[in-house]
Structure 1
Amino acid sequence: MTQLHRRAVLRASLTGSTFLALPALTYRAALLAQDKPSETVRVACVGVGGQGLANMKAVRKNVVAVCDTDSVHLEAAAREMEKGTKVATASDYRKLLDKKDIDAVLCSTPDHWHALVTVDACKAGKDVYCEKPLTLVVTEGRAMVKAARDNKRIVQTGSQQRSGKEFRHACELVRNGALGKLQEVKVGLPGPNWVSRAKKAVPDGSPPATLDYDRWLGPAPERPFNANRVHYLFRFFWDYSGGQQTNFGAHDLDIAQWALGLDDSGPTTIEGMATFNKDKWFETPESANQVFTYANGVKVHCTLGAGGNPGGVTFVGEKGTISVKRGAIAAMLNGEKVADPYKLPTGEAKLYVSKGHHADWLECIKTRKLPICDVEIGHRSATVCHLGNIAIRTGRKITWDPKSETIVGDKEAAALLTKEYRKPWILLY
């Protein structure tokens, strides 16, 4: 087929369905260059509001279909994509999974949908890019890993900082002993931006006609619609997410584990305390202070909110400190500030080099190599975030066995590792 004819056939095969699309850049995202039509990975985007729009733009030339439970998002996405190639639209992601002209699914839904979309897509033979945090609860992650492995699927987690050169360089320096013996890692997460977005509390009411609220809830508990619990604000309610702890922790605690060389493990004890909104406008912490202790003796001290650790990740060792955040890396060695940390030699231990988080995913779909933030890594990093929240919610020190992935000696805390789905939704894996 000629390129023109192939595209015409593709458009004709999709326009009878119901999905939509919209684009926007994500941190460090880059597109694969000059793909031939026969080599293009055909992507369906599930969730095209907020971050979903950013993910759409990052893979724009690959998008053939999109899906959202909110018709406002769907229509805006469709209009944006019509500037290039027309795409198909749907309000139910399951309608996409049987299509032979879709190779992969990019999931940017609220967190409580991540596991279902990813597992179903893997079972349908689709590769997946799933936004961070990978999961709502720990047990979902192991099911997602198993679904990916059993079905031989490529699953990239959207913890995009792994594809930033500043984070890779900082982790290589730590791994190669630039700080001598590592003593502590400090992580600073931002406080919630609920108030700045919602402005004030509002009463429960009826969902707008543009939102399929029952489908938006999906496996989450049934409750009246409230405008301050949906779309971006879902992040600050336990039914759908874990607050800034899982939002930004899935980036910075992920980097801490990368530097520690513990992508397949986790801490052994977790303790923490938090403050909450006095008016109960939202449920997740306003501020928090946590300590994750690893088997090698290193402690990761993580704060959330104003007055805590500096933003990003700071590694503290015998010889000094290395700090890294988006777009910046700084080092203090032997009492002196390093003028250009990129000139510091890292050593023999080299880490995965990504040319861009989305580009890495698309390339790995073709090569079948595991991506830079494979589903197992995403699961382990999300687990650290969840364990911090469990320690906060129970008010107790948690003992964790990272090998068996169990909380030791605390049934109440262990119950928070999983969550019952609202019927008829079931995670079948």
Structure 2
Amino acid sequence: MSQLKDQSAAGSTRRTFIKQAAAVTAVTGAGSIIKTPVYGQNQAPSTGRVIGANDRINVGFVGVGNQGFNTHVRQIKNNEAKHNVQATAACDVFSEYRDRAQEFMGVKSGNVYNDHRKLLERRDIDAVVIATVDHWHAPVAIESMEAGKHVLIEKPMTRYLSEGFDVYDTCKRTKRVMQIGAVFCLEKKWHKAAQLVRDGMIGPLVLGQSSYCRNSPKGEWNYTINPKLTDASVDWKRWLGSTGTRPFNADHFFRWRKYNHYCCGILGDLLAHKIHPLMIASGNPEFPNRVACLGTKEITTDRDVPDNTQVLANFPSGYTLMVVGSTVNQQGLPEMLRGHHGTLYFGGDKVDLKPETPFGDEIDPESFSGLKPSGADFVAEHADWFDVIRNGGETKGNIDLSMRAQVVISLAEISERMSLTLLFDEKSRKITTGTGQEVQPLNYPA
């Protein structure tokens, strides 16, 4: 069965989205996004170098634009001694970004690349940070793990759902260490909450709520366009990748988060930061079994994606997650985790436990403060990844958490764009409506 291809919301219809329940699942189809992989999918993956507790880790970077450079190249380079790592090589399709990374890292020109596959051929590179545009996350991550490299993938993990499962399956098969670039996963308060939930301190979970709201008068993601970007200074065809063919467009290159071809907007950029932590706080992250999402763009109309979004996700345990996002109003919701017996309130590096009135005689109010790390601590995010590479275990943003969060994000996008409430079966990986009709996930054009 051919998969549904991405298209603008205005041109989409329910009829093209919904398939009968007897249709064959399309989970495996996203493998076609990798047109010419360096490492054949039928070959055994490279095992990579065995890294001991005291060994230096050599890091490569794919995608060194604003996020890739400032959050990852700069932070890792500045903390090489602390982490016992070396910023070794970088890749980007824009020559200006390559040159900036080369200069800051202090490496020779032979260590920067236009094509990530050249970087992956290097046996001295142990780990790869992937901070490309979203539609390149999956192919670079899969090829990196096949080459024996550990990966840190910026959020969201992938552009579409089926390729998310390709990343998930590859990670499980190759046994590489994966970290999602949703930095608030490192905040200790969410892990403290998880322990309190597992200890039964607030009773059965009812609702987790959070938000990520901004107000951008000139329109969110309308970043400055660098005049040095021309069709001669960027490999435009490679940047487009599997999203289709279109003429060179500097607005798309720098402001890609506004367009469905490359991004799901608030859901992937902002709410990913809240969905992952609330799933951690539940004490037992699950795949959702029902997702609904609303979205509007009545204020900023220069884009495909909404400027106002609300997500509800139900889980098999009965837990419900509610997250709200906006780029046109900055007032958010208080962060809390509601249980039948008590409620956890989150703020800064603190968690407050307050009993529900009927259970006041059974539960004492408590406050837990000084929970570090707190906030957007990228040094902690990198340290966690490197520690697990050396010593084993699971990163705070591990592949199991990331895949479950990706299902929420991907189903929310489909729900919003098609005005549908969606059901998900984790065993079959199928999406259906309440009447049992199968819904094909969004995917790239053929």
TM-score (normalised: structure 2) = 0.74
What is aligned with 1:237? 259
What is aligned with 1:156? 179
- Structure 2 counterpart of 1:399, one-letter code: L
**Which of the residues 371, 388, 394 maps onto 1:370?**
394
**Post-superposition CA distance 1:40-60 (Å, at most 9, x none):** 111110011121111113322
Number of aligned residues: 370
What is aligned with 1:133? 156
User: For the Cα contact (< 8 Å) 2:300–2:307, is it kept in 1?
Assistant: no
User: For the Cα contact (< 8 Å) 2:194–2:280, is it kept in 1?
Assistant: yes
> Does structure 1 residue 178 correspond to structure 2 residue 205?
no
* Pairing 1:17-56 to 2, within 5 Å after superposition: 39-53=55-69, 54-56=71-73
User: For the Cα contact (< 8 Å) 2:430–2:438, is it kept in 1?
Assistant: no
**Which of the residues 326, 343, 346 maps onto 1:324?**
346
**Which of the residues 354, 363, 369 maps onto 1:342?**
369
- Structure 2 counterpart of 1:51, one-letter code: Q
Displacement of 1:343? 8.4
Kindly report the root-mean-square deviation, in angstroms, between the aligned alpha carbons of the 2 structures.
3.2
What is aligned with 2:291? 270
Displacement of 1:183? 1.7
Question: CA 1:227 to 1:402, structure 2 compared with 1: closer, same or farther past 3 Å?
Answer: same
**Post-superposition CA distance 1:58-109 (Å, at most 9, x none):** 3222211001111111111122222xx6571111101111111211211111
- Amino-acid identity (%): 25
**Post-superposition CA distance 1:190-243 (Å, at most 9, x none):** 25857155289x9xxx94532221111111122233333223x21221111111
Question: CA 1:129 to 1:290, structure 2 compared with 1: closer, same or farther past 3 Å?
Answer: closer
Q: Give the distance between the partners of 1:388 and 1:295, measured in 2 at CA.
A: 17
Q: Give the distance between the partners of 2:252 and 2:89, measured in 1 at CA.
A: 27
What is aligned with 1:222? 245
User: For the Cα contact (< 8 Å) 1:290–1:388, is it kept in 2?
Assistant: yes
User: For the Cα contact (< 8 Å) 1:191–1:244, is it kept in 2?
Assistant: no
What is aligned with 1:23? none
- Structure 1 counterpart of 2:324, one-letter code: T
Question: CA 1:168 to 1:226, structure 2 compared with 1: closer, same or farther past 3 Å?
Answer: same
> Does structure 1 residue 69 correspond to structure 2 residue 69?
no
Displacement of 1:111? 0.8
**Post-superposition CA distance 1:26-52 (Å, at most 9, x none):** xxxxxxxxx999711111100111211
Tell me the secondary structure at the aligned position of residue 358 of structure 1: helix
Q: Give the distance between the partners of 1:312 and 1:117, measured in 2 at CA.
A: 37
**Which of the residues 123, 126, 134 maps onto 1:103?**
126
Displacement of 1:371? 2.3
**Which range moves more in the overlay, 391-400 or 357-366?**
357-366
User: For the Cα contact (< 8 Å) 2:215–2:330, is it kept in 1?
Assistant: no
**Which range moves more in the overlay, 122-131 or 184-193?**
184-193
**Post-superposition CA distance 1:241-284 (Å, at most 9, x none):** 11111122222111222222443x32211222211246631111
Q: What 5-or-longer segments of structure 1 have no aligned partner?
A: 1-34, 345-353, 423-429
Question: CA 1:56 to 1:323, structure 2 compared with 1: closer, same or farther past 3 Å?
Answer: farther
User: For the Cα contact (< 8 Å) 1:256–1:313, is it kept in 2?
Assistant: no
Higher relative contact order (CA 8 A, sep 6+): 2
TM-score (normalised: structure 1) = 0.77
Displacement of 1:368? 4.0
What is aligned with 2:16? none
- Structure 1 counterpart of 2:66, one-letter code: G
- Structure 1 counterpart of 2:58, one-letter code: R
> Does structure 1 residue 210 correspond to structure 2 residue 233?
yes
Q: Give the distance between the partners of 1:59 and 1:355, measured in 2 at CA.
A: 8
> Does structure 1 residue 283 correspond to structure 2 residue 313?
no
Q: Give the distance between the partners of 2:370 and 2:184, measured in 1 at CA.
A: 20
**Post-superposition CA distance 1:297-321 (Å, at most 9, x none):** 2222222226698357421223443
**Which of the residues 76, 82, 85 maps onto 1:59?**
76
